[in-house]
Amino acid sequence: MNETLHVVQKLSDWRARALEFEQEIQKAVIGQARVVRLVTICIFARGHVLIEGDVGVGKTTLLRSLSRALGGDFARVEGTVDMMPSDILYHTYLGDDGRPRVDPSELLRHAETLPVFFFNEINRARPQVHSLLLRLMAERSVSAFNRVHHFPYLNVFADRNMVEREETFELPAAARDRFFMEILMAAPDDEEARRRLVFDPAFHDTEMLLERVSSGTLDYRETPAVARAIQTHVRSSEALERYVLNLWRALVDPSSAGVSPPDVDLDSLVKGGASPRGLAALVRAARVRAWLEGRDYLIPEDVRDVFIEVMAHRIFVDPIHALRSDDIVKRLCRAAFDATPVP
């Protein structure tokens, strides 16, 4: 009993700190409250993130402030078409004596203290690199210098270049499924935020901007334990579980569930991806959201709030719809919600 009370108290404290953490991030990244909330959910669900957004909307600023607020290190690599896995793991250079040297890369050097690893333009890298990343994300470890390096606090954030198609390699389904969420980051809609971003000199200097974020609002070393506590503490009722399973059925077999998004042949729409792992991720994210909202039980709004971000990138539709699959999947998700009664 005392143990439970202790956990409840601890989670309550951590919730206050998580909300404070969000406030800190929003000192540097304005007009992006929802993105910050989703990223916070990912931190406390221990999930890796795909970020989709135009250039210059503040993705790097967001991740650097995240890393600063978590008190850990920050590593970043740029995806290029000629990048090999070794480029991520090793740093090769010529020493003072003119001899070639191979040292651990930034990623390996910070392995034990790295909560944020940013892979920019991941779809420019080749499948070999995706493959290394797959292991890094799934097992939080890599092999280098003949031993295994562990990344106990790692969250991978990857950005996809959605503008150019040449010399890009679409992420394989398995790799996309490893990402916990895909978050769309667009320029803020709020007029005041837009004005400040353009005219306020404080937002023109990223280094100065990051100074605003208090360092170590959360301790990244504690997040794994808190994440576990959230998952065991937040309850799901039978009605909620039935609701999630009905949603799943509506996604996998839309026509039988009465889901009817317009202009789409439902018989062969979903080819895969609405996997048990995806649904498990959905429930994990929803639990963290419930916790951040101050509840110890799940409600349908928790599921709906994170659904598109957690599920849409894992649903693979018939190749005939490939060019507009994002739109179709989102419409399918909304139609599934409209057709699934609750409670």
Partner 1 sequence: MRMACIALMLAATLPACAQETTVRIHSARPFGYFVGDLIHARIDVSAPADAVLSRASLPSPGPLSGSLDLRDIKLSETSENGARLWRLDLTYQNFYVALDARDIEVPGFELSISTAIGAQAVAVPAWRIGVSPLREVAPQKQEQATDYLRPDGSSAFVDEATLRNLAFGAGAGALLALALVARDRAWPPFQQRQARVFSALAREISRRRGAGDAHFAASIQSVHRALDRANGAILLSGDLPEFLRRRPEFEPLQVDFERFFETSKQLFFGGESSKDDYAAEQLAQFVSRLARQERAG
CA distance 75 to 117: 5
Shortest Cβ distance from residue 234 to partner 1 (Å)?
11
Residues 258 to 287 in contact with partner 1, rule: CB under 8 A: none
When binding is defined by CB under 8 A, the residue of 300, 307, 328, 332 that contacts partner 1 is 300
Q: What residues have CB less than 8 Å from 332, skipping those under 6 apart?
A: 251, 254, 259, 261, 264, 269, 270, 315, 317
When binding is defined by CB under 8 A, the residue of 16, 102, 186, 239 that contacts partner 1 is 239
Q: Report if residue 338 touches partner 1, rule: CB under 8 A.
A: yes
Shortest Cβ distance from residue 103 to partner 1 (Å)?
52
CA distance 22 to 19: 5
Shortest Cβ distance from residue 257 to partner 1 (Å)?
13
Stretch that binds partner 1, among 20-28, 177-185, 295-303, 307-315 (CB under 8 A): 295-303
Binding mask 6-45 for partner 1 (x = CB under 8 A): ----------------------------------------
Stretch that binds partner 1, among 24-32, 70-78, 108-116, 233-241 (CB under 8 A): 233-241
Other C-beta atoms lying within 10 Å of the C-beta of residue 108: 19
Binding mask 112-131 for partner 1 (x = CB under 8 A): --------------------
When binding is defined by CB under 8 A, the residue of 301, 320, 322, 327 that contacts partner 1 is 301
Asked if 129 and 83 touch (Cβ cutoff 8 Å), the reply is yes
Tokens describing residue 290:
């419930």
Give backbone dihedrals phi and psi of 187, rounded to 5 degrees, phi first: -60, 145
When binding is defined by CB under 8 A, the residue of 77, 132, 154, 299 that contacts partner 1 is 299
- Provide the β-strand partners of residue 104: 90
CA distance 325 to 311: 13
Q: At which residue do the structure tokens 């709020």 appear? A: 190
Tokens describing residue 242:
């039935």
Q: At which residue do the structure tokens 């989709």 appear? A: 52
Q: Which is nearer to partner 1, 195 or 242 (CB)?
A: 242
- Provide the β-strand partners of residue 183: 51
Q: Report if residue 341 touches partner 1, rule: CB under 8 A.
A: yes
Cα dihedral: 125, 127, 129, 135 (round 10):
140
Q: Report if residue 304 touches partner 1, rule: CB under 8 A.
A: yes
Q: Report if residue 237 touches partner 1, rule: CB under 8 A.
A: yes
Q: List interacting residues with partner 1 (CB under 8 A).
A: 235, 237, 239-240, 297-301, 304-305, 337-343
